[in-house]
A and B are shown apart, each in its own frame.
Chain A
Amino acid sequence: MSEREYRQASAARGGLLFMHNVPGVALGDRVQIQDHAGRIRNGQVIRSSQEAVLIQVFEGTENLDLERTWVRFLEQPFELALSPEILGRVFNGVGLPRDERPPLISSLKRNVNGAPVNPAARAYPREFVQTGISAIDGLDSLVRGQKLPIFSGSGLPHNRLAAQIVRQAKLPNEEGGFAVVFAAMGVSHTDARMFQEDFESSGVLSKVVMFLNLADDPAIERLILPRAALTAAEYLAFDLDMHVLVIMTDMTHYAEALREVATAKGDVPSRKGYPGYLYSDLAELYERAGRIKGRHGSITLIPVVSMPSDDITHPIPDLTGYITEGQIVLSRDLYNQGVYPPMAVPPSLSRLMKDGVGKEYTRDDHARVANQLYASYARALEVRNLASIIGAEELGEADLAFLKFAENFERNFLGQGEREERSILDTLDLAWRQLSLLPRDALTRVSEADLDKYHTPAARQA
């Protein structure tokens, strides 16, 4: 069937366009809509029957008049043109240039929805990525091919942390860093400029593809943007053999756009008005990260989720946490105390760390040290809690040591400069300096051999 053009839209609301008597339209097909002012909008068929067709319009349905709107069915799915020239370019959500350069011409086009990776084709991610950030490298290591989100709150430095990871991430013993796919959904102009300048100043711009939808851009475009971005990432990773780092910020804006359309469609809401399929929808995005057998490249995914009212049980962070391989949670308390990066240690986790650290990748004691830091810090937080009730002067000597440990751990281990890069060995040595503030008997998560080798109680913090 060839392209067809119609003019009888029967309703337009909430980003959806309803058409009647357009037979035989395929689900998922791309649509172009020309409004009375001649402006072209992009859409996609999301429901189709002999009688009626429902179209989701990425630029929204504001300012549409039903009588003078032309709808063209392109008889093709939503595809993204791909070539090595995408590097260094800036696109919008539907893959059109935003950098005043001509559109990409290529015969290679891929459906932005992708196709599910066969679990039998996946390779297990195990290579330790050094971000140079002690909190992450030491406690919740990132592994190449992992999906590790940053859970944050409004006003917290999640974007600065993401930018620092982009600047510093590398494999300890490997040349060449990551290519970067940057997907911005509903971010402010300021944040977008911060990233852009950061990419420029660190000289990675020629290895970055940006997909931008800013805070004042149409919200529904955010639904297709991460799909386009991940299609580009898959191309770079699995066709061009590159290691790709994908930053997606902010997933909360994505989910809100999804809710907006779901509500307009009349889908049954589950929690907080989000549709029941939010989990599957997010999984379709996040699961595109990973490694594939026999392919050199990889996709490491760092989505940023700003938790509404800092609530980690809100559906967006909650469902994200069920899909991703851990999470880095930022803490407002630590941030207010001037600790950067303000990583909340107890709820943060890296599920793939267990296979990516140790003798082969970092150092033999790494996993045990991380475990010990977690346990000791958890104990220290209990003591701090107690001290706030009964007063620190009432504490015993052992408890006081924990208080001191917590203080030093937060300042010197978690805290570091935004431009400071620490090697993993420096991070581990730093970790032992903190643990040495505690008596040997209090450290039961590390081995006796570790203690003999690294525990030096004489060490005093500056």
Chain B
Amino acid sequence: MGEILEINGPIVRVRLPQVLTGEQVRVGELKLTGEVIGREGDDAIVQVYEVSDGLRPGDPVEPMGHPLSVELGPGLLGQIFDGVQRPLYTLYEMSGDHIARGLAVDSLKRDKAWPFEPNAALATGTTILPGSVLGTVQETAHILHHILVPPDTGGTLLELAPAGDYTLEQPIAHIQDAHGHTRKLKLYQRWPVRTPRPYLQRDHASAPLITGQRVLDTFFPLLKGGKAAVPGPFGAGKTVVQHQIARWSNAEIVVFVGCGERGNELVDILDSFPKLTDPHSGRSLMERTVLVANTSNMPVVAREASIYVGVTLAEYFRDQGYDVVMVADSTSRWAEALREVSGRLGQMPVEEGYPAYLGSRLAAFYERAGRVKTLSGKLGSVTLIGAVSPPGGDFSEPVTSHTKEIVQTFWALSKELADARHYPSVDWTESFSGYVGTAATWWTENVDAQWEGLRGIALGLLTQAEELARIVNLVGPEALSPAQRWALEGATLIKEGILQQSALDEIDSYCSPQKQYALLQLLLLIYAQGQKLLLLGVPVQRLLSLPLLARARRYKTLHGNDDLARLNANTLEIQVAFDALRNEYANSGETKK
């Protein structure tokens, strides 16, 4: 038992000799949970995850003997947890509309029994390695939960429970470890969140994460096991992009961390996901989703922890051989929580008040992404996607610039595009992806070998149009040559017909890779056909007034993902329209100057 010496917001100085840094403590009469972040002589500095009002010097402090850890086992999917993995539905039952302080609850339900199927390959007496599979629990209709030996445990199997229903506290295996001690293994395990879960070795990320969002998949692809950032000023549509990824990406598990953001955004997920169907498995989206929520009005210190809680959950499903996507909205709020704690500790600020270790913390967090060979020999991946909320939309601020150095895919959102209601407002000049080469292999094998080429043409056209738009803004469109005017129109066609994608439109919200490619091909066909006619002397005004151009902008919403034949049939319409124009000019003899 120790006692409180000083309270300064969420930072409390206590007298508590021999406590470890990182250890959890209970503070004050209310038993608020906190974490030791430093030691000075007999004193410890504690950050409290809950509001510290009402604490007073002299109040008791009690060490809990373990670091901040999460419970990993059946019952995670479909749940919403707070920043330190307390289940919010249970807290709702216990304390009503508002979260009371000092509530201690189990993360996973203890009274629920799960149907356990033992691993038939394991016989009594065999040696069990850390991370190996003891058996399975069918957690949801689509997700098989693999019960793993904890990564720090191994030994000789003494007994494995037969198939049947077990609660989390009932042992399902007994093993004897190297020291001769018998250990009981259960359906769940604990793991400290600040320690990455071990794996055998890193593997090459090779398959793209298909999000169904054209500007992401086609133009700035991300791989399963990759790391990406979505920076954008407020109102640029960050949240919608993140929600779309959580909805439609072809990951098997999605961990969504709402870190310092709006409460209603999580409610939106809680309301809409159960009703939406995963296009890849055909099941309700909620069955593959875990939410971690520390909304902006919840205590700031737990915000710092929430990111680590989320990524540990992601690693746990990766260890079972799943492709997991973790979306963190927003890493800026996490960085601000770091800043607040470091400021209260009187640490020397470097840039904009942030501590000097901001960059290394960010890098260490993103390094927990990756495709790996797990301890049980399966392949699994964690893809990390972090939103960044730069103050004033200034991408040179510390969090954005550090993040930019770390990630391989950078989806920069633009206020200008959002203001014109060009959504998703991914700016094609600022964004980048270092995964295009790898993704191209996948597109070649699964969609079409022309993908990389067409993508290059489209991006080139967009870049050229930026330059031309500058000229137009200076001297007007008349200064452009017909070919340049047509290029400007071609770029607009790509912007409106491909890049813009409505999250609210039933048909357009998810776009399959095949449809993405078909649209790219059609719109570039229009552009190429026009170029040819220009060479034949057809005036650019005739091309610009083709009714086909308005129709082409609607292709994306006219044909669903299962209607590719009719989408591709538009090739004919395009040919007919351009042939008619060609014939007109050929007959009137106006070809060639």
Contact = CB atoms under 8 A, between A and B. Distances in A.
B419 A48 contact: no
Most-contacted residue by chain A among B297, B393, B419 (CB, 10 A)? B297
Interface in B7-31: 7-9, 13
Interface stretch (A98-106, A188-196, A268-276): A268-276
Given A268-B353, A276-B336, A313-B392, A116 B98 contact: yes
A23 B353 CA distance: 32
Interface string A105-130: 00000010111111111111100000
Interface stretch (A59-67, A163-171, A199-207, A371-379): A371-379
A117 B476 contact: no
Contact of A290 (B233, B263, B271): B263
B159 interface: no
Interface stretch (B376-384, B457-465, B467-475, B517-525): B467-475
A27 B52 contact: yes
A49 B293 contact: no
B393 A313 contact: yes
B333 interface: yes
Contacts of A268: 339, 343, 349, 353
A326 B236 CA distance: 11
Contact of A280 (B89, B92, B300): B300
Interface in B237-281: 239, 258, 260, 262-264, 266-268, 270-271
Nearest to B549: A441
A354 interface: yes
A283 B553 CA distance: 40
B496 A444 contact: yes
B295 interface: yes
Interface string A243-281: 000000000000000000000000111110001110110
Interface in B524-579: 547, 549-550, 553-554
Interface stretch (A221-229, A316-324, A425-433): A316-324
B97 A292 contact: yes
B352 interface: yes
Interface stretch (B55-63, B70-78, B583-591): B55-63
Contact of B97 (A118, A385, A390): A118
B349 A25 contact: no
B99 A318 contact: no
Interface size class of B (residues with CB under 8 A): 35 or more
A389 B349 CA distance: 47
Interface string B108-146: 000000000000000000000000000000000000000
Interface string A287-314: 1101011010000000000000000011
Most buried by B among A114, A238, A268: A268
A349 B420 CA distance: 11
Contacts of B92: 118, 120-121
Contact of B57 (A25, A116, A277, A367): A25
B80 interface: yes
B266 to A, nearest CB: 5
B426 interface: no
A77 interface: yes
A28 B504 contact: no
B339 A276 contact: yes
A131 interface: no
B40 interface: no
Contact of A119 (B295, B352, B391): B295
Contacts of A238: 97
Contacts of B98: 114-118, 121
Given A26-B55, A119-B267, A313 B7 contact: no
B97 A117 contact: yes
A28 B233 CA distance: 34
Contacts of A120: 80, 88-89, 91-92, 270
A351 B421 CA distance: 13
Interface of chain A, helix or strand or loop or mixed? mixed
B263 A287 contact: yes
Nearest to A445: B421
Contacts of A352: 264
B52 A374 contact: no
A122 B263 contact: yes
Given A27-B53, A119-B88, A119-B263, A374 B6 contact: no
Given A122-B264, A276-B339, A321-B235, A24 B300 contact: no
A459 interface: no
B106 interface: no
A233 to B, nearest CB: 14
A346 interface: yes
B96 interface: yes
Contacts of A48: 6-7, 55-57
A266 to B, nearest CB: 9
A326 B235 contact: yes
Contacts of B297: 116-117, 283-284, 286-288
B296 interface: yes
Contacts of A354: 504
B213 interface: no
B339 A325 contact: no
B389 interface: yes
Question: Which 3 interchain pairs have the tightest Cβ spacing?
Answer: A313-B392, A283-B296, A49-B6
Given A269-B353, A323-B262, 11 more contacts: A28-B53, A116-B298, A120-B89, A271-B391, A276-B353, A279-B336, A319-B391, A346-B420, A378-B419, A386-B477, A444-B496
18 contacts: A23-B57, A26-B53, A47-B9, A118-B96, A119-B80, A121-B97, A121-B98, A238-B97, A277-B300, A280-B300, A280-B336, A315-B392, A318-B391, A346-B419, A349-B418, A385-B473, A389-B475, A396-B477
Interface of B: 5-9, 13, 51-58, 80, 88-89, 91-92, 95-101, 233-235, 239, 258, 260, 262-264, 266-268, 270-271, 293, 295-300, 333, 336, 339-340, 343, 349, 352-353, 389, 391-394, 415, 418-421, 472-478, 496, 504, 547, 549-550, 553-554
